[in-house]
Amino acid sequence: MVLEFTPRGIYCPAGDFYVDPWRPVGRALITHGHADHARPGHAHYLATSAAAPVMRHRLGDIALETVGYGETRRIGGARVSFHPAGHVPGSAQIRVEVGGEVWVVSGDYKTRADRLSEPFEPLRCHAFISECTFGLPVFKWPAEEEAAKEINRWWARNAAQGLFSLLGAYALGKAQRVLSVLDPATGPILTHGAVEATNAVLRGQGVALPETIHVTPEMRAKDYPGALVLAPPGAFATAWARRFRPAETGFASGWMRLRGVRRRRGVDRGFVISDHADWDGLNHAIAATGAENICVTHGYTDIFARWLTSQGYNARVVPTQFNGEDGAATAEDGEHG
Ligand SMILES: [Zn+2]
Ligand SMILES: [Zn+2]
């Protein structure tokens, strides 16, 4: 086995390292900076140089070695390289080769290009460990221009009616992607601290984003009429958001494709914009690997593994720490969407 599934996470015996482990280990190869992949407590980290600034921002003073996309490293008996996953800036798939056998760990991925993330690179391999957060046919993403138009129209209408537009988006990746499609002519763009801190890190590495205004405690909301306020979804239930009244609320996520989730979230508007592959994206990416063996993780794993088996793959579910019965419900929390 090139890679094994252990209680600490995905393990490579030939190289004695783990990929995105969820318990502290000696050597961790990290696909990207989201909290369910880049965890604190490992003795040694390896990640792309593009993911490093966010990881340092989130994890503090860690022993982090970086590698460029496509650069090969020998670790013990394994050859490893990182390749763009198209998920968020700096995100990678990790290719591991041992004795001529190639396994690829996708991490989180998105096959459609945006303007911020390094575009997804299809890799040939013998075994592919694929996330399947949105592994149901109902998940089909509209073109990004459509979602962008909807968000801008919603914002303009709210502003014309004297309403703030409170838009929820995960701080790393989604928030910047939303920012990149906003029409700044509509009004000021205000940001929650978690979003602004990540903006600063990404701007520092050359990602171009429109001008944003960080919301500070002394700031008076009425000085920014018609503003769009970008914040992690959790911030809307807090006192922080209450100063922006009256307001319409929205949430930008692939989960907004499901009416039940929209209702549960209690937002006025859902915008279907995801940093993950949709159903077609997953199927195309898997076919392009040429792999016979597919291990699925995150999301609708049982259903998706059955689907892949019916398509002639040798598919299995990878145990993760998210072994809840409803994979979707657990994945929906955190930064998966
Ligand atoms: Zn992620
Ligand atoms: Zn994830």
Q: Ligand 2 centroid to 336 CA: how many Å? A: 6
Q: Which pLDDT value is given to residue 324?
A: 39
Contact 81, 61 (CB under 8 A): no
Q: What is the pTM of this model?
A: 0.95
Q: Ligand 1 centroid to 31 CA: how many Å? A: 9
Q: Ligand 2 centroid to 155 CA: how many Å? A: 29
Q: Each residue's pLDDT tens digit in the chain (337 positions)?
A: 999 999 999 999 999 999 999 999 999 999 999 999 999 999 999 999 999 999 999 999 999 999 999 999 999 999 999 999 999 999 999 999 999 999 999 999 999 999 999 999 999 999 999 999 999 999 999 999 999 999 999 999 999 999 999 999 999 999 999 999 999 999 999 999 999 999 999 999 999 999 999 999 999 999 999 999 999 988 988 899 999 999 999 999 999 999 998 888 889 999 999 999 999 999 999 999 999 999 999 989 999 999 999 999 999 999 776 543 333 444 455 678 8
* Tokens read off for 313: 């793959």
Residues, CB-to-ion distance under 5 Å, ligand 1: 34, 108
Q: Ligand 1 centroid to 336 CA: how many Å? A: 6
Q: Which pLDDT value is given to residue 329?
A: 42
Q: Ligand 2 centroid to 240 CA: how many Å? A: 27
Smallest-distance ligand from the CA of 33: 1
Q: Ligand 2 centroid to 276 CA: how many Å? A: 9
227: CB partners within 8 A, 6+ apart: 159, 164, 165, 187, 188, 189, 190, 221, 244
Residues, CB-to-ion distance under 5 Å, ligand 2: 36, 108
Amino acid symbol at 15? G
Q: Which pLDDT value is given to residue 320?
A: 74
Q: Which pLDDT value is given to residue 330?
A: 45
Q: Ligand 1 centroid to 330 CA: how many Å? A: 14
Smallest-distance ligand from the CA of 34: 1
Angle, vertex CA 129, rays to CA 124 and CA 130, nearest 5: 95
84, 141, 213, 329 from 22: Cα distances, Å: 22, 30, 35, 19
Residues for the chain: how many in total?
337
